[in-house]
Amino acid sequence: MLRLIGRRLLLMVPTLILASILIFALAEVLPGDVGRSILGPYATQEQVELLNERLGADRPIYVRYAAWAGGFVTGDWGESLLLKVPVFPTVMKALGNSLVLAGFALVLIVPTSVLLGVFSGLRRDSALDRTITVSTLSMTVIPEFVSGVVLLYVFAVWLKVLPVTAMPPDGSPFVSRFYYLILPAIPLMFLELGYIARMARVGTVQVLAMPYIRTAVLKGLPRRRVIFGHVLRNAMVPTVTVIGSQVGWLIGGLVVIETLFVYPGIGKLMVDAAQTHDLPMLEAAVLMVAILYMLSNLIADIVVALLNPRIRAGG
């Protein structure tokens, strides 16, 4: 197990290097340049070239990459080219906000979807199973922008029982944030419930068909013990893997939710930085999300190994 963890952590380094190179390369092919983004479409060509020269944006890409990488690894993440704010605290604050939203959403999504999926698997092909499957999968296809607008209109505008934004006023206690995150978390639940519940259902159905479950039942073990001691534990293996892979999206992919609910998360920060060629901000934000994505997958794999001794022994 420790070797597995060590190997995975080591593999993160070349992965992050490759990701950082890819971001630089992709930013090169995006239309526009940072000087034009700062000065706007009405500045003259000469003005833009002068600014690009001042910012060093006219240097060869490998020179710029080396300069950025050198600063990044020594902790100097520089300043946003457009916003003129230090990158490190800006990215960390946005990342923290995204982690809070992702964490809250997971607290709502995981138990609900696992329960629904397992229940559905235990009652396979019943009317309840079909109802749960159809309704959760139907919710998955609703774009978060649509569900978000409807929820906002119903609960924040019409009924006025929930706040219209996702951030509490300055000075509010931390715990009050969760009240403000209820509405933004619901569209995320809609999107993830079907997927995770389906995996939990599949896992449950597969495990129920295993000979050792039949043996356990024939041995006379109580049904509750069979379910909690054997079925659930083994059905969670594929489910945990899927949850781990979704964490990255929940942290860095919520641009629509962040825009609609006015939530200062890392997804919107990355999109704005990409559109304006603000490379210091973009690189830092993407790499932080990449690190968290890899860590979440690693944690998921560790949990799976803990659940399944055969994997642990082979790792």
Partner 1 sequence: MADEKYASEYGQHLVDQVMKGKMTRRQLLVRASVFGLSVTAAGQLLAACGGDSEESASPAASAIPDPVMGGTIKMIGPAPITDPDPVTIYDQGGIVLVYQFLEYLIDLNNDNSLRGTLAETWTPNETVDVWTFNLRQGVTFNDGSPFEAEDVVTSIERVLDPDNGSGALSQLNGVLSPGGVKAVDAATVEFTLDKPFADFPYMVSSGNYNTAILPRSYKGDIIKNPVGTGPFMLDKYVTKQKATFTKNPNYWGKDDKGNQLPYLDGMEYIMVEDNSAQNLQLQSGAIDLQPQTVFQGAQALFADPNLRVDIYPGTGIREVAFNVDKEPWKDNPKLRQAVAYCLDREAINKALYDGRSNLGYDTFWEPSVFAGAPESTPRAQDYEKAKALLSEAGYPDGLEIELTFAKYLENPQYAQLIQEQCKPAGITVKLNQLSYEAYYAGDDADYYGTTPWINAPMTITEWGSRPAPGIYAAAMLLPDAVWSSSHWDNADFVSAFDEYESTVDEASRMELATTLSQTQQDETPILLSFYITQLRTQKKNVFGVGGPGSFYCDMSRAFMTA
* CA angle at 284 for the pair 282 and 290, rounded to the nearest 5°: 100
Does residue 88 belong to the site contacting partner 1 (CB under 8 A)? no
Does residue 41 belong to the site contacting partner 1 (CB under 8 A)? yes
Does residue 32 belong to the site contacting partner 1 (CB under 8 A)? yes
Contact present, 299 and 244 (Cβ < 8 Å): yes
Q: With CA atoms as reference, report the closest residue to 275 among 96, 82, 94.
A: 82
Contact present, 5 and 302 (Cβ < 8 Å): yes
Q: Work out which of 27, 48, 243, 294 binds partner 1, going by CB under 8 A.
A: 48
Q: How many residues does the chain have?
A: 315
Does residue 259 belong to the site contacting partner 1 (CB under 8 A)? yes
Q: Work out which of 14, 40, 171, 211 binds partner 1, going by CB under 8 A.
A: 40
**φ, ψ at 79 (rounded to 5°):** -125, 150
Does residue 140 belong to the site contacting partner 1 (CB under 8 A)? no
Does residue 83 belong to the site contacting partner 1 (CB under 8 A)? yes
Does residue 270 belong to the site contacting partner 1 (CB under 8 A)? no
Q: What is the DSSP letter of 308?
A: -
Tokens representing 263?
A: 């939530």
Q: What is the DSSP letter of 256?
A: H
Closer Cβ to partner 1, 138 or 275, answer by number: 275
Q: Work out which of 31, 220, 309, 314 binds partner 1, going by CB under 8 A.
A: 31
Tokens representing 282?
A: 């973009």
Shortest Å distance, C-beta 211 to partner 1: 55
Binding positions for partner 1, rule: CB under 8 A? 30-33, 36-52, 58, 82-85, 90, 149, 152-153, 156-157, 160, 163-165, 259-262, 264, 269, 272, 275-276
